[in-house]
Chains A and B, each alone.
Chain A
């Protein structure tokens, strides 16, 4: 396995950037997800690493070796496509062996390696079939087998679970994760599904509008989003973001609410904020409903999510223009219109500058 390095890699289609210059180092054996909405440039980035797309500028290094202009076949990487791309005119065995034939591996060894990987993925009984005869999950296993059989330097996966049924996706997610750990395989994984990215990755690269928004561990991007986009994009629902004004140690919020600023944020806000405008951010689970809470709201709607209930609370009372999502115990009923007070866990409060959209940081 290998380390992959992107140095100021960019892709332009005409005058438009599909990928703004980006730097990224993927460590040996690391699982990195490229996450973002469609059209954000994540697949283009993956295709540039594979060599299927030429870079417009920048350098790509695999194990310290510059492969920027190497043909895809010379990079020793495996690619798993969203729609499988299993060769329809070959049997499963031929599909898996195809890449070994390109490397001129001796026949006896091909047989053994195909069989070994088939056993690993439990598809031995399918080797004689054509891809057409397989179910979606089995096709996915065969594509994985095709990638695994060659012991490549890295795996590149482009939404490999996107074409599968929802419940089967969870199973395959676990299987891919286990394979990754067992093979110690450097993996770059493109997805638009944040749950997938959170569940599987060591690190997540969040992209939007051709730009990298944040690179971090799942916990980092969840608790400390770098900007408003990441705050909204990660989590379902995303982080609550409430516009307010900062004056005299207090954050003025809609509905005449006032939040005393946690002490450790005072300096940060004073130094980093460009005006009085500020955006308060907190996760639904950061709110604690209590009779003497500082924030005063009204229940706008409530939805039972099974293990907990999600309350939609209007900070500005009946108008319902400033909505926040708050987690509550599943067994309490909050009728619509009920006035409600809640507190925020000071550890889980974040602030953003609405002008730059960036998160404020503690020194």
Chain B
């Protein structure tokens, strides 16, 4: 008897392949339409949300005339003026001085020339870099501290019988219930008395304490999700509880740690009110600095935009570095790992 092949089967396997799911709920027409609509909506939303960022990025490279032009210029001649102004202190030149300076233009280096085109003379470096460095130090240290302490507290709350556990947890959460601005003045007075005013350590302490309530609660949720049996296994395998915590619990809590880190970092990085009140020179961070740029030589939109852009970059880097953990992490363990 002749061997008969089913042409339908052949055609199907050649044209479509069989590597993807053929479940009805994944390939049905309605499902695909819904998916298309969802993706379109997501792309549009992302576009909409990125307009301010794009605007900021563009403005950072515009000369002042372009920055305030109406209608706004989408196409423009990029300039480094904003960046140079950001990193320098300058004095505004009157016509006579400007003319004199232009005469010896060959003696100037490239950034001085660009400043001159904007009608300003560079007098020295600005404080922006110091302030940004302060931000990195303060936000970074307080985040590491808050997450590290939060991890230990969350582990203890999750695993041990703590006397008055729910009261303690509520107390920790209650520190978030008061708007922080309300306590700015008392803290200001406390800090001046204790000599913590305008110190790195002062702000690090404050941000750590504020973030602890967040980290303890978030991380406790993640810890509760990790079965105790893993530590039990590690302990009978010959490890102490602390070793078990380090070698078995921490690696599994990594998504939670990543999500918590990003949340605390963003809070500490963006904090404005306390930074403004509790620092003046030495420990001042970037957020209170950027608005002060406005004061010099009129509204230097390019400089402000460049400053904001620089302020954005560190958070973007951290978030990007942790992105593979975040998607699972921010669902707060709703999905079983």
Contact surface of A with B, Cβ cutoff 8 Å: 50-52, 71-73, 75, 77-79, 81, 83, 85, 87-89, 98-99, 102-103, 146, 150, 156
Contact yes or no, A87 B238, CB < 8 A: no
Is B33's beta carbon under 8 Å from chain A?
no
Q: Which 8 A-B pairs have the closest CB atoms?
A: A102-B238, A99-B237, A85-B229, A85-B233, A89-B251, A79-B236, A72-B235, A73-B238
Which residues of B lie under 8 Å from residue A98 when comparing CB positions?
Answer: 234, 237, 247
Residue of A73, A77, A88 touching B239 (CB-CB under 8 A): A73
Residue of A nearest to B237 (CB): A99
Which residues of B lie under 8 Å from residue A52 when comparing CB positions?
Answer: 232, 235-236
Which residues of B lie under 8 Å from residue A102 when comparing CB positions?
Answer: 237-239, 243
Kindly provide the distance from the CB of B167 to the nearest chain A CB, expressed in whole angstroms: 20
Residue of B nearest to A83 (CB): B229
Is B126's beta carbon under 8 Å from chain A?
no
Residue of A73, A83, A103, A150 touching B235 (CB-CB under 8 A): A73
Kindly provide the distance from the CB of B200 to the nearest chain A CB, expressed in whole angstroms: 35
Kindly provide the distance from the CB of A195 to the nearest chain B CB, expressed in whole angstroms: 25
Report the bound CA distance from A82 to B243 in whole Å.
Answer: 23
Which residues of B lie under 8 Å from residue A79 when comparing CB positions?
Answer: 232-233, 236
Report the bound CA distance from A312 to B297 in whole Å.
Answer: 102
Please report which residues of chain B, range 250-275, place their CB below 8 angstroms from some CB of chain A when the two chains form the complex. Answer: 251-252
Kindly provide the distance from the CB of A163 to the nearest chain B CB, expressed in whole angstroms: 12
Which residues of A lie under 8 Å from residue B232 when comparing CB positions?
Answer: 50, 52, 72, 79, 81, 85
Contact yes or no, B236 A72, CB < 8 A: yes
Instruction: Give the interface centre of A50, A72, A98, A146 by most chain B CB atoms within 10 Å.
Output: A72
Kindly provide the distance from the CB of A146 to the nearest chain B CB, expressed in whole angstroms: 8
Report the bound CA distance from A79 to B234 in whole Å.
Answer: 10
Which residues of B lie under 8 Å from residue A73 when comparing CB positions?
Answer: 235-240
Which residues of B lie under 8 Å from residue A81 when comparing CB positions?
Answer: 229, 232-233
Which residues of A lie under 8 Å from residue B243 when comparing CB positions?
Answer: 102
Kindly provide the distance from the CB of B202 to the nearest chain A CB, expressed in whole angstroms: 38
Is B248's beta carbon under 8 Å from chain A?
yes
Contact yes or no, B238 A103, CB < 8 A: yes
Contact of A78 with B234 at beta-carbon distance under 8 Å, contacts A83-B227, A83-B229, A89-B251 already known: no
Report the bound CA distance from A51 to B238 in whole Å.
Answer: 12
Please report which residues of chain B, range 57-113, place their CB below 8 angstroms from some CB of chain A when the two chains form the complex. Answer: none
Please report which residues of chain B, range 284-325, place their CB below 8 angstroms from some CB of chain A when the two chains form the complex. Answer: none
Which residues of B lie under 8 Å from residue A87 when comparing CB positions?
Answer: 230, 233-234, 248, 251
Which residues of B lie under 8 Å from residue A71 when comparing CB positions?
Answer: 235, 240
Report the bound CA distance from A87 to B236 in whole Å.
Answer: 14
Which residues of B lie under 8 Å from residue A72 when comparing CB positions?
Answer: 232, 235-236
Report the bound CA distance from A73 to B237 in whole Å.
Answer: 6
Kindly provide the distance from the CB of B227 to the nearest chain A CB, expressed in whole angstroms: 7
Report the bound CA distance from A85 to B226 in whole Å.
Answer: 11
Residue of B nearest to A87 (CB): B248
Other than the known A72-B236, A99-B237, what 8 A-B pairs have Cβ atoms closer than 8 Å? A71-B240, A73-B239, A81-B233, A83-B227, A87-B251, A98-B234, A103-B238, A150-B237
Which residues of A lie under 8 Å from residue B248 when comparing CB positions?
Answer: 87
Which residues of A lie under 8 Å from residue B247 when comparing CB positions?
Answer: 98
Report the bound CA distance from A78 to B233 in whole Å.
Answer: 9
Report the bound CA distance from A346 to B309 in whole Å.
Answer: 95
Which residues of A lie under 8 Å from residue B251 when comparing CB positions?
Answer: 87, 89
Report the bound CA distance from A81 to B227 in whole Å.
Answer: 12
Which residues of A lie under 8 Å from residue B240 when comparing CB positions?
Answer: 71, 73
Report the bound CA distance from A51 to B235 in whole Å.
Answer: 9
Residue of A nearest to B233 (CB): A85
Report the bound CA distance from A242 to B248 in whole Å.
Answer: 55
Residue of B227, B230, B236, B337 touching A50 (CB-CB under 8 A): B236
Report the bound CA distance from A53 to B51 in whole Å.
Answer: 58
Kindly provide the distance from the CB of A289 to the nearest chain B CB, expressed in whole angstroms: 51
